[in-house]
A and B are shown apart, each in its own frame.
Chain A
Amino acid sequence: KNEVEQSPQNLTAQEGEFITINCSYSVGISALHWLQQHPGGGIVSLFMLSSGKKKHGRLIATINIQEKHSSLHITASHPRDSAVYICAAIDTGNQFYFGTGTSLTVIP
């Protein structure tokens, strides 16, 4: 049983499209963390959120605590957004549970 499920596993989009990546979790959380892993392997922290919505540039993360669901949205997608996006649920005991990642490819 996976505590964190991501969908889709793979996603291909045309440049300019609006993209949504979903993350569902089964544990009670303190926070949910979105990470971006570039094709070269480097990892960047995008958002840490425990309620509501956060926005940074073209990226928006939302979370619904009651439904145990978070989404990562990318507006006006660009080829440089091509990466693997990983969500991690941090439970109330500060245990970390990772999704298996969503591989995004944005085609020019």
Chain B
Amino acid sequence: DAGVIQSPRHEVTEMGQEVTLRCKPISGHNSLFWYRQTMMRGLELLIYFNNNVPIDDSGMPEDRFSAKMPNASFSTLKIQPSEPRDSAVYFCASSFGVLSYGYTFGSGTRLTVV
């Protein structure tokens, strides 16, 4: 298995633009997580899905952020409109359950909003 695949690896965008980050989880995993990491705030969980259903989105900072998982093999995190404070590394991870084994992280997307 190729692991959790995130795209793009790097994204530079102008303030106000829409940004879409993509994640392909490991086949067979039924939980998917989106994290954000910054120097100021460290690692934060934004949202997670179980069997394609959003379970907890309390970490999503505001309405500009939205996440979808239309099927078991694909998820997106969208920021619209983007702001400079959204600059961070965004990680996607998948596992066989929230408290289960097989927890695997993607390589991350480094987002810079100028």
The chain A residues found within 8 Å of chain B, CB to CB, are 30-31, 33, 35, 41-45, 48, 50, 86, 88, 90, 94-96, 98-101
Q: Which positions in B face A, CB cutoff 8 Å?
A: 42-45, 55-56, 58-59, 89, 91, 93, 95, 98-101, 103-105, 107-108
Contact in complex: A98, B44 (CB < 8 Å): yes
Q: Please determine whether A31 and B45 come into contact, CB atoms closer than 8 angstroms.
A: no
Instruction: Tell me the complex Cα distance, A75–B95, Å.
Output: 27
Given A42-B107, A86-B43, A31-B91 contact (CB < 8 Å) = no
Residues of B within 8 A of A100 (CB): 42
Q: Are B103 and A33 in contact (CB under 8 A)?
A: yes
* A98 and B99 in contact, given A41-B89, A41-B108, A45-B105 (Cβ under 8 angstroms): no
Question: Which residues on B sit within 8 Å (CB–CB) of A94?
Answer: 55-56, 98-99
